[in-house]
Amino acid sequence: MNRRFSTFEGVFTPTVLSILGVIMYLRLGWVVGTVGFWRSILIVIGANLITVATVLSMSSIVTNIRIGTGGAFSIILKSLGIEAAGAIGIPLYVSQALSVAFYIVGFSECWVSVFPAHNPAFVSLAVWLGVLLVSYYSARAAFRLQYAIMAAVGLSLVSIFFGGDPSYAGHPVMRGTDPSSFWKAFAIFFPAVTGVLAGASMSGELKDPKESIPRGTLAAVAVTFVVYLGLTWWLAFHTSAQQLTANTAILIDLGRWRLLVIAGVMGAALSSALSLFVGAPRTLLALGEQGLVPYSGVFSRINPRGEPTGAILLTALIALLTLYFGSLDSVAALLTEFFLITYGMINLSVFIEQSIGIASFRPALRIPSWLSLLGAVGCFGVMLLINPAFTGVAIAAILLIYVVLVRREMKSHSPDVRSGLLIFLAENFVKASLKLPYHPKIWKPNVFCPVGDLAVLRRVIPLVRAIIAPSGRALFLHIIGRSGDAAAQTGQDNSPAQRYKDDLIRVIAPLKEDGLFVENAVVETSDVLNGIAVAVQMSKEMFFRPNTVFCALENEGRHAQEIMAQSAREGLGVVALKFHPKSQFGYEKTVNLWIRRNSPNINLAILVALQIQKNWDGRVRLLQAVADAREAHEAREYLEMLKTTLRFPVDETVIEVLTGNFWDVLMTAPKADINIFGMADQPDAGMINKVFGIMETSVLFLRDSEFESAMA
């Protein structure tokens, strides 16, 4: 879009007129009469502190980014990402479009008070048409019209300050009629100062938005703050509290020249309608450019004069329908809530970017982080003051839109600090957790999986899932022999390493789709075994350090013994799988857990068996082999004790004691979908193969580490 507006024309004027609106004329007197002079001063100062914080936050972001079309929408887009910007921008646009009708009705009511013979509906329709034509023809024309409106507002203030109540007895309104209604008065007054982003809405058409938005908005806030302080003083010292609370149009009646004040009120309503009629289509234009609304192609177009034609016409239609179907006074507070959420999120964006310490946040205008936090808290606090129920509705609406946009998986190249925030939080939690001692009670499976053959990995992925779900972790490391291929040396996308990585990602994709914490890497090395050893050692220094190595024995072949030995030296548990190609994992229902009394490798076996049972929604069979019947009773008591003490699921756990020679017992053991055995400190490949040869299932052999305890 064309960069055509200066600071005064594009920012200062619309912002001043948005703040000096109908609330100043029709509600400020009631506030002063209700709570008195000093409390009213506190309300004006408090409301302006929140808006100043918002303006400074906005200015800080604007001096750090290349702001695009849409003002507040563009700011949030560049900070919190497209989903957050859409979730806030869509209701913000609707609120802007609906508010056009409110201000048109306000103008019409004031007009009819002067010309009672005129039909209010006809006046509203005429104003709607006039505002539409001005904004459709040219935003510049709309802004130039606002010069006349500003003059009318200025003359109305002159009329007020030169006027007064002839019957005034000289007793200033210091206490008010109901000083306890302070927060109610605050909530009623606050919308008066929410027009601070009126100029920022034209961000895409300002000649120099980085200069114009901060300077124009801050200047407008300063001028209007002085005006509100002056009017508060004048009202408190020139009439009575009873008159102020009984007559909302007191400023019109007290003006030296009544028609000038009426012109000011109508001008304020008209300028607000005109400002929103110009600003709202720019918000819709920005939403269309990002593909966030239906028919985005229509709403993202601009005509040769630089006006967003489709967006203007939709805004006009929404305003017209609002006028036709009647007043929406009952939801006026809800519209204010959406404006306040927008302002609050701008403050929050600055606070987040300052707090996480990212190098890209280098604004020309720096503000203290507490100030942006104050602005955010203030905005959300005022939302609750205005209407707690509508606050919940507004937040729920925004969250719903956010969820919908996230599920659409929006594609955008706009900066997004959400990942930076999560990393920042994770870093601080990591620092805190490193200061605390480890206890086996917090153990959960964190599995390191050296990968040799992707075809084998594909077959055993279901078991890995059963071990780590729902909150465990897995690191898959595919180590391949170094290739002399030139692409492999240069790291090109078509290199063998990249192809292996793509294949690995496809194999483990089901785990990621289930929402599991899964990482993967491919490493080229001239010595595969040495590469695995180095990887195991390095993994010990990771924060999410693996506590268990998962080794598919047929996968690693001649390296299996070395991998298990290396894992033991590094203090990791071992889960070694002998995969049965025919039975695989059967019906994924029954787990046979073989327990040897006083075995040093019982903890990991129990924990893994329980993980598999839970994820298979099956049952565990506790088995123990004894030499003769004399030991059977004692063995059963031992298994019953384990079942109770280690909190095995009562209904899903059965106990069987088998009598006879261990190898004979294996041949007659109850059938299961997987068998689990403890492993000797020095794995015996011959014994592992013998056990596997007897069983007709896949078999797990496990060895404990220092990390787990089934008793915790």
Instruction: Give the CATH H-level superfamily of domain 7-407.
Output: Amino acid/polyamine transporter I (1.20.1740.10)
- Which residue matches tokens 């055993």? 460
Q: According to CATH, what is the number of the domain 580-706? A: 3.40.50.620
Residue 588's pLDDT band (cuts 50, 70, 90): very high
- Please give the pLDDT value at position 486: 36
Q: What is the mean pLDDT of residues 16-29?
A: 86
Q: Where is pLDDT greater, at 609 or 339?
A: 609
Per-residue buried b or exposed e for 510-530, using 16+ beta carbons within 10 Å of the residue's own CB: ebeeeebebebebbbeeebbe
pLDDT per residue as tens digits for the range 387-431? 898 889 989 999 999 888 888 866 655 566 667 777 777 777 777
- Please give the pLDDT value at position 616: 95
Which residue from 96, 343, 24 is spatially nearest to 196, judged by alpha carbons?
343
What token pair was written down for 131? 């505002």
- Please give the pLDDT value at position 334: 76
pLDDT per residue as tens digits for the range 436-475? 777 788 888 999 888 878 888 899 999 999 999 999 999 9
- Please give the pLDDT value at position 491: 47
Q: Half-sphere exposure of 617 toward its Cβ, with a 13 Å CA cutoff?
A: 0
Q: Is the pLDDT of residue 355 over 90?
A: no
- Please give the pLDDT value at position 673: 95
CB 347 within 8 A of CB 53: yes
Q: What is the pTM of this model?
A: 0.70
Q: Is the pLDDT of residue 604 over 70?
A: yes
- Please give the pLDDT value at position 488: 40
Q: How far is residue 327 from each of residues 100, 131, 293, 625, 712, measured CA to CA in Å?
A: 12, 19, 26, 83, 64
Residue 113's pLDDT band (cuts 50, 70, 90): confident
**If you average pLDDT over every residue of the chain, what do you get?**
84
Same fold, 7-407 and 437-577: no
Percent of the chain with pLDDT over 90: 26
CB 213 within 8 A of CB 11: yes
Percent of the chain with pLDDT over 70: 92
pLDDT per residue as tens digits for the range 208-232? 888 888 899 999 999 999 999 999 9
Residue 432's pLDDT band (cuts 50, 70, 90): confident
Domain boundaries, the chain: 7-407, 437-577, 580-706
Q: Comparing 80-94, 336-350, 487-501, which segment has the lowest mean pLDDT? A: 487-501
- Please give the pLDDT value at position 485: 41
- Please give the pLDDT value at position 468: 94
Report the largest interatomic distance among the alpha carbons of the chain, rounded to a whole angstrom. Answer: 115
- Please give the pLDDT value at position 487: 36
- Please give the pLDDT value at position 556: 46
Residue 327's pLDDT band (cuts 50, 70, 90): low
Residue 6 host element (H or E): none
Q: Is the pLDDT of residue 61 over 60?
A: yes
- Please give the pLDDT value at position 537: 74
Residue 295's pLDDT band (cuts 50, 70, 90): confident
Which distant-in-sequence residues (6+ apart) come within 8 Å of 197 by Cβ? 54, 58, 71, 72, 217, 342, 343
Architecture of domain 437-577: 3-Layer(aba) Sandwich (3.40)
